[in-house]
A and B are shown apart, each in its own frame.
Chain A
Amino acid sequence: MKSAFQIVDEVRRGATTAAAELATCLDAVRARNEELNVFLYVDEEGAAAAASRVDGILASGGDGGALAGVPIAIKDNMCQRGIPTTCSSKILEGWRPPYNATVLDRLLAAGAVPVGKTNLDEFAMGSSTENSAFGPTRNPLDPSRVPGGSSGGSAAAVAAGMTPLALGSDTGGSIRQPAALCGLVGVKPTYGLVSRYGLIAFASSLDQIGPFAKTVRDAAMLLEVIAGHDPMDSTSLPEQSPSLVAHVGDGVAGKRVGVVRELIEGADQDVVDAVDRATRVLADAGATLVELSIPELRLGLSAYYLIAPAEASSNLARYDGVRFGLRVNAEDVSAMNEATRTAGFGAEVKRRIMLGTYALSAGYYDAYYGQALKVRTQMIDAFRRAYREVDLLIGATAPSVAFEFGSKTSNPMSMYLSDVFTIPTNLAGEAALSVPFGTGEAGLPVGVQLLGPGRSEGLLLAGARVLEIADGRP
C-alpha cells in the first residue's frame, strides 16, 4: 500500500489517477473485509464520484487538494450525507444522515476519497470493537486478536492496507489504543482543534476526532486538513489549522521530555522495554530527560468512568424511537421509548447509561459526579505543573499488545483498564499520540505514547518522527 504522501505526489504528477488508487483500495477491501469485518458499508458509487471529481480537476490544471486522490476510511460515528451511519448500534440501523460532518466536507474539499464506514464498539464504548452490534473486527496482524477500540475498524482498515488513512474518534483512548495494537500512528488532538459537528456524541467534553496513518507524515497531512475553527461547533478553538507537515522533521533537540512513572507502571514487560528504548532514542536525539511522578494520573480511570457515562446517559437520551432509527411499537409513547431502547442498545451501552444515570441521580451526584469533576480539575492542574518543567511527556499507550478475543469481555473493569494511560489526556483536553515502536509478545507491535499540552501537535509529531526513524521506517 502506498502512503498518502506518495499517492498525492503521484496523482499530481499524473503518474497515477485517483480512480486507479481507489480501484487498488477496493480490491484490498474485497480481499479481506469478510474475514476481518472492517467496513460496515462501502460506498463504491460515492467514492468513484469523488475520485473522478479529483481526476477532472487535475486534468483541467487544478491542484486537486492536499489529499488529492487519497482513499480514506471513516469511523461509523461520523455523519456522511445519505450514507448509512450506525454507530455499530441496532438503534440507528438504517439511518442515513441528512448532512455531512464538518470533517467529511473538509476531506472532500481537500480531494480525499471517502471509501466507507468502519466498525466500532457500539457508540464508541469499548476498547476491543467486540461491543459492535455487527460483530467484532479482527486485528489484521493476527486475526485471533482484537484490533483495540473503539475505533478498531478504522485502525484495521489502515493496518490491512485497505486505505492509507482513516478517521477515528478518541474519548478515552479510542484512537491511540487501537493505533498501538495495530502498529499505526494515531493522534488524539487538543480538544477543540477538530470540529465535532456531525460526530455522534458519546461524551461531549471528551470526544475528539483524529487521524490514523502508517506514517507520521501521513497523520500530519490528514490532521492539517481536518483541523481549524468551525462555526458549527461552539467548542471549536478560534484559530485556523496549524502548520504540521512542515514541522514533522524538526526533531527534539533541546526539548525536555518527562518520563512519567504513572504512565508506565502496571504495563507488561515488553511494553515497558519499548518505552525505555524509545526514551533513550529521544535522549540520543538531543532531548533532556526528566524523571517525573504525577500521582493524580492514577485517579483518571475512576473519574473518567463517572464523567463519560454521565455525559453519555444524557447524550443517548435522544434515542427514543421518535425522530430517527429504530422504533419498537407499544401502546403508548413511554412504553414505546422503553421497548425501543431496550431492544436497540447493547449490554455495554446499557451499563454506561445506567452508571451515568446513577452518578447524576439525587443523593449520589455530589459523591460521584461532583467528586469526579474535582478530580478532573486536579488532573488539569497536575499536567499544567508538569508542562512548566518539560515540553512533552512519554509513556505507554496501552498496558499490553493486542489481546485475544473474549479475554476481557466478562469483566468490564478489566476492559476499562486498557485505557488507563490514555484517559488523563482526554480529561485535561490536551494532545497525545501513539507511535509504533518495536515489537513485543508474539511479534506484535507496541505503541509509545507522547503527550503534550494543548496545541502541541507539531512537537508531538516531530517526536514521533524521531522514533519512527529509529524504529527503521525512514
Chain B
Amino acid sequence: MSSSLRREDVAKVAQLARLSLSDDELDKFTEQLGQVLEHANDMGTLNLENVVATAHPFGLINVVRDDVVRPSLDRSEVLAMAPDARDGRFAVPRIMGEAP
C-alpha cells in the first residue's frame, strides 16, 4: 500500500467529486489527505488474504414491503424546496450544447 499521494491525484479526485480547488487548497489537501492515508498504512502490514470483507455490521439481506399503495410526499411541497421548478418538474440549466 502506498501513501505517496500526489498533487495530481488530488486534482483528479476533486474533479471526480465535482469540486473545484484553488492552488492553495490543492497543496493543503494533498498534505492532509496524505497524512490520513499514511496512518492507514498500518493496515497494509496485515495478512488479510483469507478474511472476508464486511460492508455492513449485520450482513444486510433484502427487505421488501407489502405491495400496497400508500400516500407519498406531496409533489408541490417537494418542488417548493427546489432551487428551480417548472411545470411540475425540477428545472436545471441546459445539459447539452446547441445542435451543430
**Known contacts being A320-B18, A378-B51, is A372 close to B77, with CB within 8 Å?**
no
Which of under 10, 10 to 19, 20 to 34, or 35 or more describes the interface residues of A? 35 or more
Contacts of B13 in A (CB 8 A): 354, 357-358, 361
- Interface residues in B51-95 by Cβ distance below 8 A to A read 51-58, 60, 63, 65, 73-74, 77-78, 81-84, 90, 92-95
* A 227-245 to B, binary, CB cutoff 8 A, 1 in contact else 0: 0000100110000000000
Contact: A372 with B40, CB < 8 Å?
A: yes
**Known contacts being A330-B93, A372-B40, A428-B57, is A350 close to B48, with CB within 8 Å?**
no
Contacts of A327 in B (CB 8 A): 83-84
Contact: B40 with A354, CB < 8 Å?
A: no
Which of under 10, 10 to 19, 20 to 34, or 35 or more describes the interface residues of B? 35 or more
- When the two chains form the complex, which single residue of B10, B55, B83 contacts A373, counting CB atoms closer than 8 Å? B55
Contact: B32 with A377, CB < 8 Å?
A: no
Taking the nearest CB of chain A, how far is it from the CB of B77, in angstroms?
5
Contact: B18 with A323, CB < 8 Å?
A: no
- Interface residues in B15-38 by Cβ distance below 8 A to A read 16-21, 29, 32-33, 35-37
Contacts of B41 in A (CB 8 A): 302
Contacts of B14 in A (CB 8 A): 354
Question: A351 to B17, alpha carbons, bound, how many Å?
Answer: 11
Enumerate chain A interface residues (CB-CB to B < 8 A): 95-96, 98-99, 191-192, 205, 231, 234-235, 298-299, 301-303, 305-306, 313, 320-327, 329-339, 341-342, 345, 350-351, 353-355, 357-358, 361, 367-368, 370-378, 380, 411-413, 416, 427-430, 454
Enumerate chain B interface residues (CB-CB to A < 8 A): 1-2, 5, 9-10, 13-14, 16-21, 29, 32-33, 35-37, 39-44, 46, 48, 51-58, 60, 63, 65, 73-74, 77-78, 81-84, 90, 92-95
A98-B78, A303-B43 provided; 18 other pairs, C-beta below 8 A? A98-B77, A234-B60, A330-B93, A331-B94, A332-B95, A345-B19, A350-B29, A351-B33, A355-B36, A358-B10, A358-B33, A358-B37, A361-B13, A361-B16, A374-B51, A377-B51, A380-B57, A416-B36
- Sample of 22 A–B contacts (CB below 8 Å): A95-B81, A191-B57, A234-B60, A302-B39, A321-B83, A322-B82, A323-B82, A331-B93, A335-B93, A336-B92, A351-B33, A355-B33, A358-B9, A367-B2, A371-B1, A371-B43, A374-B53, A377-B51, A378-B51, A412-B36, A413-B35, A416-B36
